[in-house]
Structure 1
Amino acid sequence: MYEVTCYHKSLGMFRGLSSFRRFLSSDRIVRSPLPDAQIPLATVHDFVYRHFDRYGDRTAIVDALTGQSYTYAQLGATTDRFASSLRRRGFNKGDALCIFLPNVPDYPIVYFGTTKAGGVATTANPTYTSRELAYQLRDSKSKFLVTLPAFADVAKAAANEAGTVEETIVVDTLTPGHVPSNTIGLSEFLNTDPVAATWPSTGAANLKEDVATLPYSSGTTGLPKGVMLSHYNLVANVSQLVADRRLLQVTETDRVCMSLLPFFHIYGMIVTLARGLQQGSTLVTLPKFEPDPFLKAIQDHRVTMLPIVPPLALFLAKHPDVCNYNFSNVVDIMIGAAPLSGDVTTTLYERLGTECVRQAYGLTETSPLTHFCLRDRTRTGSVGFSVPNTETKVIGTETGEALGALEAGEICVRGPQVMLGYLNNPEATARTIDADGWLHTGDIGYHDKDEFLYVTDRLKELIKVKGFQVAPAELEGLLLTHSDIVDAAVIGVPHKIAGEAPRAFVVRRSGSTIGKSDVSEFVATSSAPHKHLAGGVEFVDAIPKSASGKILRRYLRDRKD
């Protein structure tokens, strides 16, 4: 592990002035230290399934609770049948199918079967209400909807409201015969023989333009937006992630991957599901997070790769029950989807004894990963380097000009994984991707002199205190170092003198007697005056977060004082 020794406004004098000057005089577009990856022209299903014959009877995916599983051979054959059934029921190239499922072993059958049939897989959060689901069904014009018996009532209500769904399919592999009215069971749906022709043999393929998947952005600003990702986008990102052994290439000794991250979210969909299957991993699924089943699954299935989000990292770093389980097989912990303080990463190293704990960075709009710490080159608090075939620059939030090392601004990225655009929203697309192909992430960060990227906050979430910018994530990271604080979030609130001031929402450790003044004093003794909690402290039972682990600050702003 390396330590940052260069200049930053909050860190003091730069060590090595000549190196700093070399950076300033160089090209301010930062590229990957790794060679470009070869990106094949293939559909995402053909690319992911290309070695299934070789993997054969190896377990591809298994449910940690029920033991339901598919071998690679079974997965390939059943995916073909699903695609064939869709085609026979009038599902055509470009049609959308909505997947309203938690992580279950049948998920890849539905997802890749949809793309194999030439369709668009749009993935929905299974905790959605019927109103939320109906919006996505209507916006995506989904013709088919796939869900579980437990979610059938919500699914049917949403389908009725949306008015686009022709057929609702219920995954009944664990509950044969339990199929709600006005739906069809997956078992019956798959009962198709012989196999009908599937795409692209039934129509011309434009891999760089044909949409393969349509995940929806989190909607932290305005309504959720459909993110159009092509076959080429997805194949490119998986290719980038497996281009080098220091990224996510799998060996025989590290191929058991925990798959708790939801497949409906781009992180779980591509980094875990698509990348894992393409590399011959065994994916261990759980439909939702519960402490003991999660820890038991890691131990009993001898999990070697553990992709997680910051809330899970906090759990592993602080929860007392973690010490009761065996983590000796875990060799790689990957943390993504939201910023995480370096202190939590260090605690994971020390507590779990894992060889590699590293952060990654990306967006739904970039399929998702643009940055990753290499297995042999990590740096505390950093999300690492640009992945192959990817360019990065940091621009001034006021000037739009490219900045040098250690100057914070908006992160912009360019590469083959950048989305086609937002569905039915050319204005939002034009605001996000400029004429030169740069995607403006809305995230604030900076490169150090060695080109490691640090993500400090969201552009719209910076707090302006007397003209100074305060990053909520910085204060959240500080608060989490306190032994009596298990989670925290910071927002800006109006202040008569300063304009805005930071307010902290804090989840206390069970049994703790820490008070609001203690929290304020802790921050005051560790930060500059403009970062003090002049907006106050509130104790809460939990911090509201999205499925990917991002803090939902809008809910905190809407709270009544």
Structure 2
Amino acid sequence: MCESIDKNLTTIGKYLFDNGQINEQLRDEIFLIEAKTGKQLKYGELEDNAHSLAMAMLTDFEFKSNDICSIMTESCLEYAIIISACLLLNVPYTSITPASGPFGLGEQLDQTKAKCLFISNENYSKLEQVYRQSNRQHLRNHVKIVVIDDDESIDNEHGLQKITFDKLISKFKNQKISSIPYYGNDQSSIDDLVTIIFTSGSTGQPKGACHTNRSMLTNAIEMKSNESLIKYCHQTILLTFPLGHVSGNCILFLALISKTPVVLLNYSDIEQIFNVIEKYQCVQIFGSANIVNILAKNDLTNSSNISSVKMVLTAGCKLPTSTAEILTKNHGIEILDAYGCTECLFVSIGIKSNNVGKPLPSFELKLIDIVTKNELAKNSSEQTGEICLRGPCRFREYYGKPDETKMAIDNDGWFHTGDVGFIDNDGCLHITDRIKEMIKYKSWSVFPAEIESFFMQHNDVTGVVVVGVKHKEYYEVPRAYISVKSESSITVEQLQQYANDNLGYQKQLLGGIIILDRLNYNQMGKIDRRFYKDLCSNEILDIVG
């Protein structure tokens, strides 16, 4: 770790809110804006409300140092206040994605033994369904319920003990906790648990990655100091990553320590992105690669003004070079491609669309052979292997899952990411695929990302996801679900011929090509790979190839 970062480490709550970090001048400046409602939150309001909520959690909820706060809502002003209150107290929080159904909500509440749940009105009916389940009745007396939307009309048919967020804040208005952090101290608590971030479950059951003050704060400080981001410091961010997702959580901390205003735009409202950019003169955009596709599509219609945008950072899926070039050449927008994961937060930031850059300073990185597990040379595209990471930003453990933790972190402290890639002669990391997405065709290992990247070079293609379909003889064969431009007349046969002429025979799509008007995307704006894997999960093909 860089010595300068090591000296600055303390609890995040103390780093952000103690010793006059939010001074009188900053208190009146706007920090957060909700794009959907136009509601705003000043730095002073964030600090005051966080103290009031922390007092409420101590007094009304009797929070102890190891109690866990859970949150289930889309990105909103209250989300930041809840997180900040937890940071002041130095108690852990965990996010439950609004995409979860009643089963997922109940599972996560049970797994974390959450002391309270902050939930939006839109998701409240899911909680009622949880309480209809006989095996969840114990949660009724254990979990304190706070409804974020101040809606008195919410039905309470199960007699749940609940209070609205605004009433809870008002009850302790102008009150402050006695010390920051309330539990522990600024030095011995550096490795205390801050948040449990659950993986998406796209490659198995969701697991809660435990991150500490050390891992979260180190990552935020290194992001702030990154040469690709520092030039835009203090200039308005449009954040389309959910605050409950690892990326959104990290960018929130980055914005707080760099004193940069943020506009929150949930992906469900993404059609408003051009109005939001123009209204708030957003300079930086953080979101999935599909955000770049949306901006590039606007370039073709030339219907909106995006002249304020200077940089877009994407993460989570591969960005087509041709799409990035539209924004770079026509608008001078710098496109950054980041790599990260729930377990290690942001790992690297690339300034070229064909790689994800060099690892942040605190990371150690090595590549190992997928089969032999031996370490590979780092500077050759011929040496592709699994990416392993070590350093202070790595998660501590999977919550309540010691066996899975041991499988993911070896005896030398290396986290095995399951991502496959190589390092070029300039030291930049290239991501080629995920081991768990690998399709076993005969004796070949076929990686979907390579086929997807190939199709994204076609002028008519707007999106593609490749999954494996079971085969009677070959084990699995690849299939592509492809969306094309609305004006395109391209056929399945033409796309199949395009693949056959350019791909090796093991990568040709024996499982077929299916053209769709649009692909399914998750709340992150990423193509929902799990949906398409489930779609063909009961198929068994016998095509000869």
- In structure 2, distance between residues paired with 1:332 and 1:131: 39
CA drift of 1:108 comes to 0.8
Deviation at residue 447 of structure 1 after TM alignment: 0.4
The match for 1:103 among 52, 56, 75 is: 75
- Residue 39 of structure 1, CA deviation: 5.6
Q: Does 1:144 align with 2:122?
A: no
Match of 1:524 in 2: 500
SS at match of 2:197: coil
d(CA) in 1 for partners of 2:119 and 2:301?
A: 33
Give me the identity figure in percent: 25
Alignment counterpart, residue 429 of structure 2, candidates 453, 458, 469:
453
Of 413, 418, 423, the match for 1:437: 413
8 Å Cα contact 1:170/1:179 also seen in 2: no
Question: Does the 8 A contact of 2:267 with 2:525 survive in 1?
Answer: no
Shift of 1:85: 0.7
Unaligned runs of 5+ in 1: 1-31
Aligned equivalent of 2:313? 334
User: SS of the counterpart of 1:236?
Assistant: helix
Q: 2:11, 2:90 within 8 Å by CA — same for their partners in 1?
A: no
1:157 match: 129
1:424 to 1:270, Cα distance in 2 relative to 1, 3 A: same
Deviation for aligned residue 1:159: 5.9
Instruction: Give the structure 1 partner of residue 214 of structure 2.
Output: 232
Using the TM superposition, give the Cα deviation of residue 521 of structure 1 relative to its aligned residue in structure 2, in angstroms: 1.0
1:277-312 deviation digits (Å, cap 9, x = unpaired) = 221111111234334411110111000111111222
2:243 maps to which of 248, 263, 266: 263
Secondary structure of 1:456's match? strand
Contact 1:295/1:322, CA 8 A, preserved across alignment: no
Letter aligned with residue 242 of structure 1: K
Residue 11 of structure 1 corresponds to: none
Larger helix proportion of the pair:
2
Deviation at 1:343, TM superposition (A): 3.1
Query: Could you tell me how far apart the structure 1 residues matched to 2:489 and 2:355 are?
Result: 34
Query: What displacement does 1:416 show?
Result: 0.5
Equivalent of 2:341, from 348, 352, 363? 363
TM normalised by structure 1 equals 0.86
Select 1:411's aligned residue among 355, 366, 387. Answer: 387
> What amino acid sits opposite 1:215 in the alignment?
I
Q: By how many angstroms is 1:214 displaced?
A: 0.9
Superposed CA offset, 1:330-386 (max 9, x none): 1111111223333333233235431x11111111111x111112xxxx233101011
Counterpart-to-counterpart distance in 2, 1:323 and 1:134: 46
Does the C-alpha gap of structure 1 residues 321 and 75 become closer, same or farther in structure 2, counting only changes over 3 Å?
A: farther
* 8 Å CA contact 2:267, 2:523 repeated in 1: no
2:11 to 35, 43, 46: 43
Q: Describe how 1:15-54 pairs up with structure 2 within 5 A.
A: 37-38=5-6, 40-49=8-17, 51-53=21-23
Which residue does 2:284 correspond to in 1?
A: 305
Q: CA RMSD in A?
A: 2.5
Letter in 1 for 2:109: L
8 A Cα contact 1:260 1:289, kept in partner: no
Query: Match of 1:214, SS?
Result: strand
Partner of 1:55, secondary structure, is helix
- 1:240·1:387 contact (CA, 8 Å) conserved in 2? yes
Specify the alignment match of 2:542 in structure 1.
Answer: none
Aligned with 2:144 (options 161, 167, 172)? 167
Q: 1:547 aligns with which of 523, 527, 530?
A: 523
- 1:115-514 equivalences in 2 (<5 Å): 115-158=87-130, 161=133, 162=136, 163-164=138-139, 165-172=142-149, 175=150, 177=152, 181=156, 182=160, 183-190=162-169, 191-192=171-172, 194-197=175-178, 200-203=181-184, 206-248=188-230, 250-252=232-234, 255-271=235-251, 273-318=252-297, 323-354=302-333, 356-366=334-344, 368-373=345-350, 378-404=351-377, 405=379, 406=381, 407-495=383-471, 499-514=475-490
* Deviation of 1:535 (Å): 2.1
Q: Which moved more, 1:440-449 or 1:499-508?
A: 499-508
Aligned pairs, how many? Answer: 518
- Cα gap change, 1:427/1:202 in structure 2, threshold over 3 Å: closer, same or farther? closer
Q: How far did 1:145 drift?
A: 0.8
Residue 176 of structure 1 deviates from its aligned partner by: 6.4
> Deviations along 1:171-205, whole A, 9 cap, x unmatched?
23xx5655654421112111215434466344457
SS at match of 2:94: strand
Aligned to 1:386, what secondary structure does the other structure show? coil
Deviations 1:421-472 (A, max 9, x none): 1011111101111111111100000000111100011012123444343321
State the alpha-carbon separation in 2 of the partners of residues 180 and 322 from structure 1. Answer: 46
What CA deviation, in whole Å up to 9, does each residue of 1:238-260 have, x standing for no partner?
111112443446534xx200022
Change (3 A) 1:217 1:417: same
Match of 2:86 in 1: 114
Distance apart, 1:531 and its partner CA = 2.0
Label 1:365 to 1:295 Cα distance change in 2 as closer, same or farther (>3 A).
same
In the alignment, is the contact (CA less than 8 A) between 1:137 and 1:159 conserved in 2? no
Shift of 1:501: 2.9
Equivalent residue for 1:94, pick from 43, 66, 70: 66
Q: Which residue identity lines up with residue 52 of structure 1 in the other structure?
A: I
Alpha-carbon displacement from aligned partner over 1:475-495 (angstroms, at most 9, x marks no partner): 112212223322111122345
Structure 2 length-normalised TM: 0.88
- Note the residue ranges of structure 2 that are not aligned, 5 or more in a row: 540-545
- The more displaced of 284-293 and 299-308 is 284-293
Contact map agreement 1:484 1:508 (CA 8 A) in 2: yes
Q: Within 2, Cα distance between the matches of 1:426 and 1:481? A: 43
Mapped to 2, the partners of 1:202 and 1:526 lie a distance apart of 61
Per the alignment, residue 47 of structure 2 pairs with: 76
C-alpha distance in structure 2 between counterparts of 1:437 and 1:493, whole Å: 36
Is 1:337–1:549's contact at 8 Å kept on the other side of the alignment?
A: no
Which has the larger displacement, 46-55 or 448-457? 46-55
SS of the residue aligned with 1:84? Answer: helix
The separation in 2 between residues aligned to 1:425 and 1:85, in whole angstroms, is 31
* In structure 2, distance between residues paired with 1:409 and 1:548: 27
Q: Is the 8 A contact 1:35 1:388 kept in 2?
A: no
- Does the 8 Å CA contact 2:313/2:335 hold for their aligned counterparts? yes
SS in 2 for 1:79: helix
CA distance in 2 between counterparts of 1:490 and 1:524 reads: 15
Q: Is the 8 A contact 2:121 2:151 kept in 1?
A: no
Shift of the 499–156 alpha-carbon distance from structure 1 to 2, 3 Å rule, reads closer
Q: Which amino acid aligns with 2:462?
A: V
